[in-house]
Structure 1
Amino acid sequence: MSDVESFVRFCESEFGTEVMDREAAYVKQHIAADDRILNVGCGIGSLEERFLDYEIIGLDRSEEMIHAARNRVSASFVLGDATALPIATASVDTVVFISTLEFIPDIDAVLAEATRVLDSDGTLVALVLNTRSEYVQSNLQREGSYFQRMAHRDSEALAEKILEYVGGEQEFFLGISDETVFESSDPTAAAISAVVGTPLD
């Protein structure tokens, strides 16, 4: 099964839909209605599906993902690399990463680019798989799991790195246990470590 097929299957499952609904709701708490949003690592456009009333650009380095996204959602999608964004400096209000940063080895290049394209008072919203959680740990150990491709397996260190580029805070949300989703800020139960902040001078 291709990555695109796997993502479509996940996105269309009851579990995947609930996860992405909650992630999208979290992102919406941190943006304004007229923000210009860049979603880095957009995949098949699942966030864009939930942001139809917003000005949002989805970017991915996979041609297959971009093709699938364009077929699924009427939004702007760009083929590009997170370490060299084809986006003008200080041209977006919000940069979003949803389970993207932990898969990219050159994290400094990605964060430097993200803060470059952000307006000076813009917002970076990074949702990272929380490696302290039972859900993420079990997936890291599962043979064939997409999580095994993670380049950064210490979400605390990754959050600290993000906070070298933006002034903000880390919090935990999205409790998951056996594909049951619930409210939790407990680092052992919450699947997502979120960092939200504005670019440092």
Structure 2
Amino acid sequence: MTHPTPLPDLTRPDAGTLLFSEWIVDTPERQQAAADALFDEWQGLATTLRPEAFLQLACFGSDDGRVLLSTALWTSDEEHLAFVREHRAAMVSRIDEALPGIERPGLVRFRRRHTVDGPAVPEPTGTVVVLRAEADTAEAAGGWADAMADALRATGGPGPAHILVSTQGRSVLVQAPAAPGAGRELPVPDGAAAAGVRVGPPRLHRLLGSVTGPRG
């Protein structure tokens, strides 16, 4: 089923891997067209092949219209890799034929390290703040992720906020719901926790829709 809400549940216990990828599409029109094409492809695959390991695919559009951010939940990396080895090339080829010129920097595999609960957004907007950080070492990334969780708990921002660390250990992604009319700032650790960590700017992304797998 395709629908605009709710946000994907990154805490579901059967989600053994969380996959994030960006497609650079450059305009809001191409952003929506790319999302629609991706939904169509995955809806067809989920319906005809019914891969039990596929849980959900959600697409978010950056507020500047340039980037399509996809979040996929699978039961495991192994199941996902086996599936895409057989089907991804044909799927991407069909999308590129309809919408040429998409840039794909690459997919990153994450594990959830923290979920920080906070006041629920009174009027959910389907918009999230996404913050990414890159560290010199896995130890620095883990320390920064832990400090980020402490900072979110101290400030009591909207929740739940999720802090993910990549399987290669040096990338961190923070996702938190955006309250109506609120800015995009998140509390960022400084001092010793920030040593060896490069933090990108926080970005707003609006949920465009999602496709669920056979498990719902």
* TM over 0.5, shorter chain: no
Question: Which protein, 1 or 2, shows the higher relative CO under an 8 Å CA cutoff with sep ≥ 6?
Answer: 2
Q: Which has the higher strand share?
A: 2
Q: Which has the higher helix share?
A: 1
Using the size of structure 1 for normalisation, the TM-score is 0.30
Using the size of structure 2 for normalisation, the TM-score is 0.29
